[in-house]
């Protein structure tokens, strides 16, 4: 009799375990299922326009810049900090790179180094303000973003830089390798490098430890201030790379890039990514799923004829919902709700 009760108990435990495993799987893959659902829905609604190679190429050419910008956002987020200035850094670096070629006649390689180097420098300033001056990361980087927006507007007088740019850079939006857009391939390379740094190096583990509990990380010997500052430098480098890619994507560099509206999809993708793959954690894989979910949805909505203002509503709603969901998952994982301290 006791054995039968024990068997029933063991059977119940196994069923509970299966339920937990299924629930965990659905939570991890939920955004992937949503992406597949969106693709199926719009393929049915617009089979002649959405479900085509041309539309696939359009999406995979349009999203890489936002994807790299989103990767720039998640690096400080892994460390528990928030870089609001990523969009402004992206715009400034695009202007710096374009100006180096157009106004100063410098070769492409030097211009790219200048653009990415500018991002690293602004990231260093952000990191110093947050890590060593103790300024809240949202407030500090918002101030820096405002300054950069003024600098870009003052320098460009509101006019995009489009002449004198290297065709090697401006033509990458139409280049393909094995049928895949070159921009997509460059994005994948950057994503793999970012993933490696965040997950396969002592620095990445230290940054994760700081994000989980900065005081505990400090007590274990991690130099938390240096780790936090370097996360902003790496974020600036990625934002600079996104700025260079943006020139290739649209063929010029304009002051409109520094606005918060431009970076909203990347912001939404960063937090949507924390609701999937490894819920409660900011990951490269989740972020990429998030950016292509948003890009695919916007493409489908555009093809069914929505008004342009709905795109802003969708992006803004996605940001709010994604932050709320990822914050709750973070609280469940770490016991805290602090983001952007």
Digit-coded pLDDT (tens) for 257-301: 766 777 888 989 999 888 887 888 899 999 999 999 999 999 999
222 — pLDDT class (breaks 50, 70, 90): very high
Q: Are 263 and 257 in contact (CB under 8 A)?
A: no
For residues 92 and 148, what is the distance between their CA atoms, to the nearest angstrom? Answer: 7
Tokens coding 121: 């420098």
Outline where 82-223 has alpha helix (H).
Answer: 86-102, 108-127, 137-156, 167-170, 182-199, 202-212, 214-219
88 — pLDDT class (breaks 50, 70, 90): very high
Higher pLDDT, 123 or 212: 123
E-assigned strand segments in the chain: 176-177, 180-181
Q: Which residues contact 299 (CB under 8 A, 6 or more apart)?
A: 42, 50, 55, 58, 59
- What average pLDDT is seen over the chain? 88
Q: Phi and psi at residue 311, in whole multiples of 5°?
A: -60, -45
Q: Are 280 and 332 in contact (CB under 8 A)?
A: yes
The answer to whether residue 307 scores a pLDDT higher than 80 is yes
Confidence (pLDDT) at 332: 67
Confidence (pLDDT) at 168: 95
For residues 179 and 104, what is the distance between their CA atoms, to the nearest angstrom? Answer: 35
Helix (H, G, I), strand (E, B) or coil at 278: coil
172 — pLDDT class (breaks 50, 70, 90): very high
Q: Are 111 and 168 in contact (CB under 8 A)?
A: no
Cα 79 off chain centre by: 15
Helix (H, G, I), strand (E, B) or coil at 294: helix
Q: Which residues contact 103 (CB under 8 A, 6 or more apart)?
A: 161, 164
Tokens coding 167: 């065709």
The answer to whether residue 65 scores a pLDDT higher than 80 is yes
């Amino acid at each position: 009799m006791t054995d039968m009760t024990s068997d029933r108990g063991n059977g119940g435990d196994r069923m509970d375990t299966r339920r937990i495993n299924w629930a965990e799987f659905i939570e991890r893959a939920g955004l992937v299922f949503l992406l597949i659902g969106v693709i199926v829905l719009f393929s049915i609604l617009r089979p002649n326009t959405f479900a085509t190679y041309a539309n696939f190429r359009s999406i995979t050419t349009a999203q890489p810049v936002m994807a790299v910008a989103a990767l720039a956002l998640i690096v400080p987020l892994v460390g528990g900090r928030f870089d609001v200035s990523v969009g402004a850094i992206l715009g400034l670096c695009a202007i710096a790179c374009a100006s180096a070629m157009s106004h100063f006649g410098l070769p492409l390689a030097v211009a790219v180094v200048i653009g990415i180097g500018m991002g690293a420098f602004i990231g260093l300033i952000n990191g110093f303000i947050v890590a060593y001056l103790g300024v809240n990361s949202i407030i500090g980087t918002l101030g820096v973003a405002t300054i950069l927006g003024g600098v870009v507007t003052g320098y460009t007088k509101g006019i995009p830089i489009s002449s004198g740019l290297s065709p090697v850079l401006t033509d990458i939006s139409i280049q393909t390798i094995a049928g895949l857009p070159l921009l997509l391939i460059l994005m994948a390379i950057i994503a793999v490098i970012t993933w490696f740094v965040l997950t396969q190096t002592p620095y990445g583990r230290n940054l994760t430890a700081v994000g989980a509990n900065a005081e505990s990380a400090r007590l274990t010997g991690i130099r938390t201030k240096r780790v936090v500052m370097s996360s902003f430098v790496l974020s600036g480098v990625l934002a600079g790379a996104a700025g260079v890619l943006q020139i290739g994507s649209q063929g010029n560099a304009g002051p409109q890039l520094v606005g918060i509206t431009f970076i909203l999809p990347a912001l939404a993708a960063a937090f949507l990514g924390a609701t999937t793959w490894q819920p409660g954690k900011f990951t490269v894989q989740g972020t990429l799923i998030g950016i292509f979910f948003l890009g695919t949805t916007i493409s489908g909505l555009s093809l069914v004829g929505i008004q342009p203002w709905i795109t802003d509503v969708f992006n803004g709603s996605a940001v709010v919902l994604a932050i709320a969901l990822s914050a709750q998952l973070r609280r469940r994982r770490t016991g805290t709700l602090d983001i952007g301290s």
